[in-house]
Amino acid sequence: STDAVSAVINVDIEGPKISKHVYGHFAEHLGRCIYGGFYVGEDSDIPNVRGIRLDVVEALRALDIPNLRWPGGCFADEYHWMDGIGPKEDRAVMVNTHWGGVEENNHFGTHEFMDLCELLETEPYISGNVGSGTVREMSEWVEYITREGDSPMARLRKQNGREEPWKVKFWGLGNETWGCGGNMTAEQYAMDARKYATYCRNYGDNKLYRIAAGAADADYGWTETLMKQLSHLGCQRVERPLYQALSIHYYTIAGDWNDKGAATVFTDDEYYTTMLKANRTDELLTGHANVMDLYDPKKEIGIVMDEWGTWWNVEPGTNPGFLYQQNTMRDALVASLHFDIFHKHADRLIMANIAQTVNVLQAMILTDPDSGALVLTPTYHVFQMNKGHQDAASLRVDTPAGVPTREVDGKELATVSVSASRKDGRLLVSLSNLDAGAAQDVEIDLRGGGLGDLESLILTADTLQSHNTPEQLEAVAPQKHDGVTLDGSKLRVHLPAHSFVTVAGALA
Ligand code: AHR
């Protein structure tokens, strides 16, 4: 038909590399994310290695997850790492005041986290405690984990059974320091960030990538204050820049913070509002990047969006402090839209971490508290279908005649979203049709190279509310897609209503 969206991709003009770390993850001591999710303890009937669930590890390895952020979130600024080392029976117990007021026995600590990262073959990202910790405490944590040779903290690590230092590059200087991480002003925190950055040392060839706790939503003033603090350093010997990235947090909700909306029960209007709010990520990344460009035109400081995703009301009957929510086809489209936006911002966006990997917020994996059964969510499948974009060269997608739009809450929402990349001689195109009820074709003119060996997958479902459960594991699961044709340079892709499609092929 003539109403296909026309797009153009020059497959031989490479844009900035899409950092694999934008496919990053986040695991907080919150609800059943760590305990019951990742970690069940050595005595559990659930198959585990040193207490870590094997099925969870296997499912996440299939996503090639590039990094895992831990231990929070808000929890990070209450966490004292020394409570989580040494014999488990001797570890101090604390109250997890943010998340349900439950007791935390510290059985999952530094060694267990590093063990998990090794099993996942993923890079650790440790979020240090600024809110209630000290500069010394964080500095010693870096020494404990990364220092080779003889030193007080290296000796302590060896006493606890780990001879070799680990490598940890990504280091967070506090979390949401404007809120749960200390309720600071931007000026106050910027002073702290300078100090913490100074005393988090590089040991041997472990070069830290220090991530200063950045803004919420559109607080561009916060970003500006942190950027200003990177200059005017007195000492010539100090590493420049002092911190290498700023974080940003943004969550997608349909309602307001008092009533965020239900995960599985929503109208089409609420669905479109959700997509409009998800799309705001583009505006926020642009806004923060514009401020950063003024102080750092060479784009040396990265943006790390280390919390993003949907945040719904908890599932009825579950602990309100545990943030357990279901995950539908709507969540999958929120994820696919975010990835298109992330690919577009590849020049500055170094990392992004969905909140959170298991049993919390927009999870990849849900585990049944009684049977232990493991459910892969629709969001999981988007990560899997898109993993070929990791560390690939971004390709610009032009739509000269525009894409269909829809008026939502007084604003325009584009209902078709496309992004593309190339890596190792292969093209990967991701396409989302956000329209709840209408199909849409997209015709892409591929310029600068031929394409062969087409493979296409589709993720869609009967309804936007469809989701997976232990009884129905594959209500939303990827299928082979046969709605793709290639005629010369014209790639035509059929997108059913509310669907996510990937097309891959060998470039010639
Ligand atoms: O991801 C849940 C919480 O959301 C995190 O602990 C906090 O950083 C944010 O407010």
> What pLDDT sits at residue 233?
67
Using CA atoms, how far apart are residues 70 and 11, in angstroms rounded to an integer?
A: 37
| SS3 at position 367 | strand
Which residue, among 334, 197, 235, 200, has the nearest Cα to 277 in the 3D structure?
334
Residue 262: Cβ within 10 Å count? 18
Using CA atoms, how far apart are residues 387 and 85, in angstroms rounded to an integer?
A: 34
Q: What tens digit of pLDDT does each residue of 144-160 get?
A: 999 998 999 999 999 99
Q: Is the CB of 461 under 6 A from ligand 1?
A: no
Domain map (residue ranges) of the chain: 5-11+394-507, 20-391
Using CA atoms, how far apart are residues 425 and 79, in angstroms rounded to an integer?
A: 45
Bond from prior residue into 73 cis (ω within 30 degrees of 0): yes
Alpha carbon distances (Å) from 325 to 24, 65, 122, 359, 500:
20, 22, 25, 7, 22
Name the token pair of 130: 């600024």
CA of 181 to the centre of ligand 1 (A): 10
CA pseudo-torsion sign 301, 290, 390, 63: positive
Q: What tens digit of pLDDT does each residue of 298-351 get?
A: 999 999 999 999 999 999 999 999 999 999 999 999 999 999 999 999 999 999
Residue nearest to ligand 1 atom 5, measured at CA: 73
Phi, psi of 401, deg, nearest 5: -95, 10
239 labelled catalytic: no
| Four-point Cα dihedral 459, 460, 461, 464, nearest 10 | 120
Residues of the chain with pLDDT below 50 are 1-2
> What pLDDT sits at residue 234?
67
CA of 448 to the centre of ligand 1 (A): 44
Class of domain 20-391: alpha beta
Residue nearest to ligand 1 atom 9, measured at CA: 73
Q: Is the CB of 284 under 6 A from ligand 1?
A: no
> What pLDDT sits at residue 201?
95
Catalytic residue among 112, 140, 143, 307: 307
Task: Please calculate the CA angle 413-418-421 and round it to the nearest 5 degrees.
Answer: 150
Length of the chain: 508
Task: Specify the DSSP class assigned to residue 126.
Answer: E
Q: Is the CB of 176 under 6 A from ligand 1?
A: yes
CA of 362 to the centre of ligand 1 (A): 12
| SS3 at position 231 | coil
> What pLDDT sits at residue 392?
98
CA of 236 to the centre of ligand 1 (A): 37
CA of 361 to the centre of ligand 1 (A): 10
Q: Is the CB of 112 under 6 A from ligand 1?
A: no
Catalytic residue among 118, 176, 300, 412: 176
Using CA atoms, how far apart are residues 357 and 25, in angstroms rounded to an integer?
A: 6
Ligand 1 atom at minimum distance from 307 CA = 1
Using CA atoms, how far apart are residues 88 and 35, in angstroms rounded to an integer?
A: 14
Residue nearest to ligand 1 atom 2, measured at CA: 73
Using CA atoms, how far apart are residues 227 and 246, in angstroms rounded to an integer?
A: 9
Phi, psi of 10, deg, nearest 5: -85, 100
Q: Is the CB of 355 under 6 A from ligand 1?
A: yes
Q: Is the CB of 306 under 6 A from ligand 1?
A: no
Using CA atoms, how far apart are residues 156 and 152, in angstroms rounded to an integer?
A: 6
The answer to whether domain 5-11+394-507 and domain 20-391 are alike in fold is no
Q: Is the CB of 74 under 6 A from ligand 1?
A: yes
Q: Is the CB of 37 under 6 A from ligand 1?
A: no
176 labelled catalytic: yes
> What pLDDT sits at residue 409?
96
47 in Cβ contact with 53 (< 8 Å)? yes
- Residue type, position 81, single letter: W
* Predicted complex ipTM: 0.99
Q: What tens digit of pLDDT does each residue of 221-230 get?
A: 999 999 998 8
First to last CA, the chain: 28
Name the token pair of 67: 């990094």
Please tell us whether the domain made up of 5-11+394-507 is placed in CATH 2.40.50.1070: no
Bond from prior residue into 66 cis (ω within 30 degrees of 0): no
Q: Is the CB of 77 under 6 A from ligand 1?
A: no
List, in order, residues 6 or more apart from 92 with CB less than 8 Å away. 80, 83, 106
Name the token pair of 227: 């950027």
> What pLDDT sits at residue 230?
81
CA of 74 to the centre of ligand 1 (A): 6
